[in-house]
Each structure stands twice: as structure tokens, then as C-alpha cells.
Amino acid sequence: MVVKHKIEVRELNNGLRLLLIDVKGAVTFKLEVINRGGYRIAKSDQFELPHLLEHLAFDGNQQYPEKEKYMFEIEKRGVYQNATTSTNLIKYYYDGVCSETEDIIDLALAQYCQPLFRQIDIDNEKEVIDNELSRYLEDDNYRAGYLNLQLSSPFKWPELKTRVGQMRQISREDILAYYHKTHTSANTMIILAGDLSVVDLDSKIDQIGKAFENAGLTGGSLLSLEQAYGSSQDQAIVNHLKSVRQQQANFELDYLLRDYSLDDRYPMNFFNIIYNGGFASRLFEKARSAGLSYGPSSSYSQTLDYASFTLSDETIAVKLPDLYQLMILELDRLLNGDINKYEFARAKGFILGSLQRSFQLPEDLARFYRDDFVYGREFQSPDQVINIYRDFDIDSILATAKRYIQPANSILTVVDSHKDLGTVFTKL
């Protein structure tokens, strides 16, 4: 059963948009302040600007110049705060109890509209990002995923070492310019979910508008997040990276589709549950029983530019060929209709139960509605989505999956320390 709630979208005269999700009686709230400032907006030689700006999210503001004092004010209210950068967006978010909602909105506005960007904080956060990106250079799972991302994306993702070098050249003036370009009211969206009766909404929304006005952040050009069309792939791509480890090996296999439908997410998620969702799924059970893996990973995702069905895992290097072959064999069997009514019923029950469990908290609802709100799409209710999954049959699911899972759509990256790099691919 989905928790009862109401949604409302408001747009201020300055272009700022708000999604209000009212959950009567909720104990917790979720606040997200999002802008169109992700990596695709940055110049190619300043790729790390969004990431650096995100890292400066809680480093003090005009109201609380000392960052320790600012974070203390948030955390003494029992609130968790963080920020993330993605291809398209920068997101600042806060999770807490509803009684603290108004205070946290005030604190969030202070940081978003009145940041200090002190040089000492900039220098410190550059060191932190250097550590973060350098760590990824020795993370074989990240290396495989990042290479596949570079080959999938229609715009250029620099090498990690290049990103560190570029970041070192970013100045405070660059940060200020990017901030004033991306954090304007026209490019900002706010999601507030919880029991909104604890907030004087009209007064608080008026306060939000004035905060942007006082900071000189009203208006601004609406930054484009339109699809970037890459060239179509006409054959499989296979890569091999030398592992930094001696015993373990890993791989990532992506099946990409650029000409996809938003509604593909439903049959593809269902397909994935049949394939590898839950301990009783065909792949998970067989991989564990054979001692090949702690637990193989598979997922479906959509970006503005493409959609992908992804398989990945890591294991002892000598087991990698057998693990990979098992994953492909079970995928092939499923695509060819080798599924009985009991397996299908398990998957349907599993996904329906998972969905209903995931629509209970304000943060669940904020996550559910976020993408449709951010990208201006028509909202679907949780109950509508549950009914979509309830009505599926196996033929329609497999028809969609077959569009994705084609050799010509695939990018495979294997990371292994084997001295003869060709032998792994001979086995696979």
C-alpha cells in the first residue's frame, strides 16, 4: 500500500520551480535543492568545475562564515546533509525530522544563495577531489565502468588524470562565474517532501524568492539539458585493462540503446528481476551454488543520451571465464523464452512487493517524482506504476529486452592481471 500523499508544483515569477509532496503525519522530511549545473554544462577544459562547486557546498556562508558552525547548526537538529554531481545536475539534499523543516530550509538557502568560496576552502577541496579521483585509478570496478562510460557517452569524459590536472587550474573567478551561471532561479528546482502542515508554505516560498533576489540570482538563461545524439554503434566493442590486483578480476558489459523509449524502464526492470533480482533469481542462485561469485550485478538505467542494460561482477581471476559464460548463458536462455509460470510469478510478486515497500517515506516519494519533475515530464503516480508491472506478460517483456541485448549494442571491459592478455578473451 502506497502512503497517502498529495503533490503540487509551483513556479515563481523568477522561474524557480518547486515540487511540494505533502505526506500527512510523516515523521521525516526530504529537502532537495537541484540545479542544471552538471558536467555537460561545464567547458571541456574545466570539466571538474561542477564537482568542485559541489564540494564547496557546506564550507560556510555569509550568515555562518565558519563552516564548522554551519554544519553544527544542521547536525544538532538531527539532519543529514550531502551533495552530489551528475552528468546533468548538482543536487544538495537534507534528511531530517519534520519539526526541523523550516530551520533547515533557512540554512539551505543561506548556503545556496550566500556562499563565501574562500580560497583556503577551494584549495582544501581540490586536495580532497585529488584524493577521490586518484583512489579511482586503483579501483578496478570503477575503471571498467568509467571506460564504458567514456565509450558510451556522446560527449567527452576526460581521463581521470586529466581531470585532476584541469581542476588544479580552476580559479576562484572560474568558480564564481560558474556559480552565477548555474545557481540562478531559472535553473534551480526545489523538492520538499514531508508533513507540510508544519511549514507556513506561502511565507516560506516568498522567503525563497526573496533570497534569490537579494543574492542577484534571479532569472538567468535556462541551460539546455537536451539529448546529445552520438553515433550509432554497429559492432561489439571489447576492451582489456591491466588489473592493479593479483588475485581478483572483474568485468562490465553494457548493452546500449540510443533510440529508446522512456517506458522501456518498466519491462527492462521486470526482465532484470527475472534474471537476477533476489536470492531465488536464476542467475544469483546458480552463480552462488557454483561458487563463482559473491553475487553478480545487473541493472537497467536511462540517461538523456542513451539507455543501458548492464552486467558486472568480480571474482577470483581463474573463475572469471566460467562466471561470464554462466551470465551470458542464462541471459540467452531467458531471451529465448526459457521461463516457467512459477519463475514469472516469483518475479512479479518480488517487484510488486519491492515497489510497495519503496513508497512509504517522504524521501521515497521525492526520489520517485524527481526525474519527471526535473525534466518537465508528465507525472505518474506510484499506483499507476504498480499497475503497469501487475499487467505485464512475459512476451512483452522479452520483446523489449531483445531490442537491447544484441551483440552490436555491447561494450565489454575486462580487468585482469593475466600476463597473456589474449587468453582471457579466448576463453570468454
Residues 189 and 276 in one domain: no
Residues 248 and 167 in one domain: no
Task: Quick: pLDDT tens for 13-29.
Answer: 999 999 999 999 999 99
DSSP state of 2: P
Residues 71 and 175 in one domain: yes
**Choice among 57-71, 183-197, 227-241, 313-327 with the minimum mean pLDDT:** 227-241
pLDDT, position 427: 56
What cell numbers appear for 196 in the block?
507540510
Is residue 229 included in any domain, yes or no? no
Residues 185 and 314 in one domain: no
Is residue 12 included in any domain, yes or no? yes
pLDDT, position 267: 98
pLDDT, position 425: 56
Is residue 232 included in any domain, yes or no? no
Is residue 379 included in any domain, yes or no? yes
Residues 241 and 378 in one domain: yes
Is residue 228 included in any domain, yes or no? no
Is residue 224 included in any domain, yes or no? no
Nearest CA among 360, 270, 304, 252 for reference residue 88: 304
pLDDT, position 419: 61
Residue 31 contacts by C-beta under 8 Å, 6 or more apart in sequence? 93, 94, 101, 104, 105, 108, 190, 191, 192
Positions of E strands within 60-104: 80-85, 90-97
Is residue 223 included in any domain, yes or no? no
Task: Quick: pLDDT tens for 196-207.
Answer: 999 999 999 999
Judged by DSSP in three states, 377 sits in coil
Residues 346 and 207 in one domain: no
Domain count, the chain: 2
Residues 273 and 158 in one domain: no
Is residue 137 included in any domain, yes or no? yes
Residues 164 and 311 in one domain: no
Residues 414 and 283 in one domain: yes
- Residue 388's domain spans which residues? 237-427
Residues 175 and 254 in one domain: no
CA dihedral 106, 108, 110, 111 (to 10 degrees): 170
Which class for 234: exposed (0-12), middle (13-18), buried (19 or more C-beta within 10 A)?
Answer: exposed
Nearest CA among 162, 169, 165, 176 for reference residue 117: 176
CATH number of the domain to which 168 belongs:
3.30.830.10
Residues 380 and 317 in one domain: yes
Residues 129 and 261 in one domain: no
